[in-house]
Amino acid sequence: MVYIRQDKLPKLREYKYSGVDHSLVSRYVLKPFYSNVVIHCFPMWMAPNLITLTGFSFVVVNFLTLLWYNPTLDQDCPPWVYLSWAVGLFLYQTFDAIDGSQARRTHQSGPLGELFDHAGVDAINTTLEVLIFSACMNLGQGWKTVLTLFASSMTFYVQTWEEYHTHTLTLGLISGPVEGILTLCIVYAVTAFLGGGSFWQHSLLESIGIRNNDMIPDSLYKLAWNEWYMVYGGVVLVYNTISSAKNVMDARRARGQRARIALLGLLTFAAAWILIGAYLYLQPIILHYHLVPFVFFAGLINAFSVGRMIISHLTKSRFPRGNVLMYPLIYGVIDSLGPRLQEHIGVGWPSALGNDVYQVAFVFMCLGLAIGVHGSFVVDVIWTICDYLDIWCLTIKYPYAPVKGELEAKERIEKEKKGQ
C-alpha cells in the first residue's frame, strides 16, 4: 500500500465514470462504427483491459519498425512502413475506444479500467507517438521533436488535471484522442504515397503552387509543411488549455471553492519542462545525438505525474504536487551549469559528468530509474485495486450472469423492434 493509503481504499467503490465528448466526428462517425460494428468482434469473455493492452501492442510494433528503419528520426522509410504506422495507430484508437463499451457490456466497469487505460497505456503511447510522428516528418533529433513532446505531454497533463477538478473527462470539438489521432493516421498514410518524410521539409506555399512575391515575407513563404503543422498544433494546444482552465475554475466556483488556486497544479508540469529545456540546452550532445532515450525519460516523468493525479481522482485525495523523477534532472542541470558559469562569469564549478560518455550514461541511468519508479507505481496500484475489489486485471474473474427477468425484458424489446 505505497501509493494508495488504507483509509482511501473505500473511495474506490464510489467511483463512477463521467465523460463528455463534444467531437462531431466522434458522435456521428466513430461511435456508430464502434457500437454497430467493432464491439461485436470481441467475445464476452474478453476483459476490457486486455482489449486496451492488445491495442497498445500495435503501437509497440510501429515503434519497433521505427527503430529499425529510422532510429535517427530524419531518414525516409519504405512506403509500407508509413502505412503500417497509420493502420497500427487507427487500431490502437479503435481498441482504446471500445474498451469502455466492453466494460459496460460485460458489467466490468470500475476504477481499474481508468487507471490501466490512462496511466498505464495512454501515457506511454503519447511518448511513442511523438517519436513516430517525428520520424514521419523527418524532424530529426532537435528542438522540433522536443516541442512536439511538450505539446503532447501538456495536452495529456492538462486533460487529466481538468478531470481531477471537474470529476468529468471532457473532450472538446477538437481533441487529441479523436481528431488528433485521426490527423496522425492521415499524415502517416499520405507520407507513404508522397515518397517519404522528406516531403514535409519542403515549403508548403511553394508545394501548392503559390509563387513568392513581395506580399509574402520570405520567412513565411519558406515555412515547411512540418512547421505549419506545429503552428496548427500550437493553436489547438492554447485553445484546449484555456478551455480546460475555464472548465476547472467554473466547476470549483460552482462548489464554492477557490478557483485560481487550482492553477497551482500546473506548476509541477511547468517545473519539469523548465528543467528539461535547460538540460537539453546545456547538453547539445543529448539533444542532437541521444534524444530518443531522453524523450522516453521525459515522457515517463509526465506519465508518473498523470498516474498520481488519476489515483488522487479515484480515491478523492489531495492533489499530488511534486515528482520524484525531477530530482535527477535537477542534478543534471546543476552539474552542466557550472562550466557554463565559469566560462561566462568566471565563477562556477567543474562538471562531474562532463560532455561525453558519462553524460550519455547519466541519461540512460535516468531512464532506468524512471522505468523502475513508474513501473513499480503501476504494478503496486493495479495489485492494490485488484486485491481490494476482488477482481483480475486482464481476465474477468466473475462473469456477469443476467437474471431471468432481465433476459425476458431483452427478448421483449427485441420482439418489439422486429415488430416495428
Q: What is the set of active-site residues? A: 118
Radius of gyration for the chain, computed over Cα atoms and rounded to the nearest angstrom: 24
The CA dihedral of 134, 136, 138, 139, to the nearest 10 degrees, is -20
Orientation of helix 291-315 relative to helix 143-166, angle to 10° = 0
Q: Give CA–CA dist 277/283, Å, rounded.
A: 10
Distance CA 152, CA 176 (A): 8
Non-local (6+) Cβ contacts of 380 within 8 A are: 2, 3
Task: Round to whole Å and give the CA distance between 247 and 250.
Answer: 5
Comparing CA positions, the residue from 249, 248, 306 lying closest to residue 272 is 306
d(CA 46, CA 396): 7
Closest CA to 52 of 89, 99, 91: 99
Residue holding cell 516528418?
137
How many CA atoms lie within 13 Å of 71's alpha carbon, on the beta-carbon side?
6
